[in-house]
Amino acid sequence: MNKGLLIVVSAPSGCGKGTILEEVLKDKNYYYSVSLTTRKPREGEIDGVNYCFVSNDDFEKLISENRMLEYAEYCNNYYGTRNDIIEEMRENGRDVILEIEVQGALNVMKKCPDAISIFVLPPSVKELERRLRKRGTESDDVINQRLAKAIEEMNSADKYNYIVVNNALEDAIADFKAVIKAEKLKADYAKEILDEVIKNA
Ligand code: 5GP
C-alpha cells in the first residue's frame, strides 16, 4: 500500500478555501488535520471539528514539549498542527490535508520534503475584500488586518508547488482534484504497482 500524501493548502482567509476543501473531503480517504488555535471560536464553529480551541498556556506547553509539527502566530493568535497523528494516518494510506497559513506551510515544506503544497489565490484583492466583508463575521479592524496579511501571503505563493485560482468555485475544485490526481500518477508514487506488474511479467 502506498503511503498517503501530505497535502499542504494555504490561502488568504476569505479565499473560499474552506468551500473547496469541503467538496474535496467528501472522499473519505482524506484525513483533514484539525488544527489547534488560541483564537476564539466563530459562531457555528465546533470544538474538535473546525479547530481544537485551546488557551495560550496550553499551546505554549505543547510547543515546549516538542509536540507540534509546525505552528505560527497569525493576527495575534497561535495556530498549529500536532505531530502525533499525521504520520500514523499516512502510514495507513490516508491522504492528509493541512490547511495552514504560509509561515507554517513553509516550515512543513522544509521538514517534509515530500509534501505537496497548493496555494489558493483569489481572482483579485478587490474580490477578496468583497468576500471578507460579505462574511460579516469580523470587525472592520480585523478585516483590514486580514487583507494586509493576505497581500503579504500572496507574495509567497510562488514557493508552493501549485496555484489554484478560486474564480469560479467548480473550476477551482476541479483544478484541486487534478493536482492530486497528477501527483498519484507520478512514476515515483506508482512505483509499487509498477514493480508488481514487472515481477509478474
Ligand atoms: P482562521 O482564523 O481564518 O480560521 O485562520 C487563519 C489562518 O490560520 C488561515 O490562513 C488558516 O489556514 C491558518 N491556520 C489554520 N490552522 C493552522 C495550523 O495548524 N497551522 C498554521 N500554521 N496555520 C493554520
Protein residues with CB under 6 Å of any ligand 1 atom: 13, 35, 39, 70-72, 74, 79-81, 99-101, 104
Please tell me whether residue 31 adopts helix, strand or coil conformation.
strand
**What's the whole-number mean pLDDT along residues 95-99?**
97
Domains for the chain: give ranges and CATH numbers: 6-33+94-199 (3.40.50.300)
- Average pLDDT (158-171) is 96
Higher pLDDT, 94 or 146: 94
Model-level pTM?
Answer: 0.91
Closest protein CA for atom 23 of ligand 1: 100
Cell matching residue 198: 514487472
CA of 83 to the centre of ligand 1 (A): 16
* CB distance 31 to 4 below 8 Å: yes
Question: Given ligand 1 and candidates 35, 59, 70, 103, which is best to mutate, with the most ligand atoms within 8 Å of its CB?
Answer: 35
103 confidence band (pLDDT: 50, 70, 90): very high
Q: Pick from 53, 17, 12: which is nearest to 32 by CA?
A: 17
Q: For residue range 42-54, what is the model confidence (pLDDT) as tens digits? A: 999 999 999 999 9
Residues 173-199: tens digit of each pLDDT = 999 999 999 999 999 888 888 898 999
Pick from 118, 115, 128, 121: which is nearest to 176 by CA?
118
Grid-cell match 507574495, residue found? 155
The model's pLDDT over 74-91, given as tens digits with 9 standing for 90+, comes to 889 999 999 989 999 999
Taking 90 as the threshold, does the pLDDT of residue 33 lie above it? yes
What's the mean pLDDT in 128-150?
A: 86
- Interatomic CA distance for residues 91 and 127, integer angstroms: 40
Q: Whose CA is nearest to atom 20 of ligand 1?
A: 80
Alpha-carbon distance of 166 to 177, in angstroms, equals 13
